[in-house]
Amino acid sequence: MANLGPPPKIELRHVSKSFQDLKRGRETVAVEKFSLAVQDGEFLCLLGPSGCGKSTILNLVAGFEHPTKGEVLLDGEPILRPGPDRGVVFQEPMLFPWLTVLDNITFGPRMNGGRPEAYLSAAARYITLMGLSGFERHRPYELSGGMKQRVAIARAWITDPKVLLLDEPFGALDAQTRLMMQELLVRVWEQARTTVVFVTHDVEEAIFLADRVCLMTARPGQLKEDLRIPFDRPRNYEDLVPDKRYVELKRQVFHSIREETIKFMSQDAGAGPA
């Protein structure tokens, strides 16, 4: 293969991943022959029905899991293990409850021998960006769900990763908080321009956040559609909602995802209770 220009930031080549399903006593194929390239600075949303393997793809990129077949590359190099060049945010904040907000945010640099003057000023910046000012000395259990997730995002971002991986980070939040968090995330991202892979099953969230939405099929997960999102940044919901292109795009994605959900549900029913 001829190498024209720099390789994509993230590349998955014919990746398959299967698991031993102990409950059903057989092998489950989560992802099959999945290929995807994410360009530098791109905000990509992986959208799909639940159980389509989108979290598996994120875990492969994070290095938590290894592909059964195929390759997962970062800057053209195979991914072997998790590392600070890929920040991860989970659905649960997964904060360290014994640490303050500030110590949670600076955890990565502190563990990797960062210089205090450097990480403390970076932390101060993220605390302001994330609206956490005044809560530096609080413990996670003293914060609301949305605030906890903002700490988690700051903690992942402060290491200045090449890629930020978010796995349904707002899935556990209430609808209003979710909207606020989406706008906040985009605002910060517009400054940082980190390559982002954002997994979600929320169609509006995907369209609002992403440059590009990759729609996945039901299990085993494959790429069904690859859509460019045409809206200019900075975006906000008030402008988008009346936009005809937005309405049409939403309709189209809803239709696609509905097909896959129906497929998934009948597939699941056929296999018996999970």
35/144 with CB nearer other proteins = 144
112 touches other proteins by CB under 8 A: yes
Minimum CB separation of residue 55 from other proteins in Å reads 12
107 near other proteins (CB under 8 A): yes
Alpha-carbon distances, residue 40 vs 131, 189, 212, 252 (angstroms): 27, 13, 13, 27
DSSP 121-182: HHHHHHHHHTT-TT-TT--GGGS-HHHHHHHHHHHHHTT--SEEEEESTTTTS-HHHHHHHH
Q: Which of 57, 88, 166, 216 touches other proteins (CB under 8 A)?
A: 88
DSSP helix/strand/coil, 61: helix
Interaction of residue 120 with other proteins, rule CB under 8 A: no
Residue 115 contacts other proteins per CB under 8 A = no
The reply to whether 108 sits near other proteins by the rule CB under 8 A is yes
At which residue do the structure tokens 């031993």 appear?
20
CB of 130 to other proteins, least distance (A): 17
Binding mask 133-162 for other proteins (x = CB under 8 A): ------xxx----------x--xx--x---
**CA distance to 15, 16, 24, 59, per residue, from 53 (Å):** 12, 10, 17, 10
What is the strand order of the sheet 77-78 is part of?
26-38, 10-21, 69-74, 77-78
Residue 205, CA atoms < 13 Å, CB-side half-sphere:
26
- Closer CB to other proteins, 118 or 247, in the complex: 118
**85/268 with CB nearer other proteins:** 85
- Judged by the rule CB under 8 A, the positions of this chain that interact with other proteins are 62-64, 81-84, 86-88, 90, 92, 94-98, 107-108, 111-112, 139-141, 152, 155-156, 159
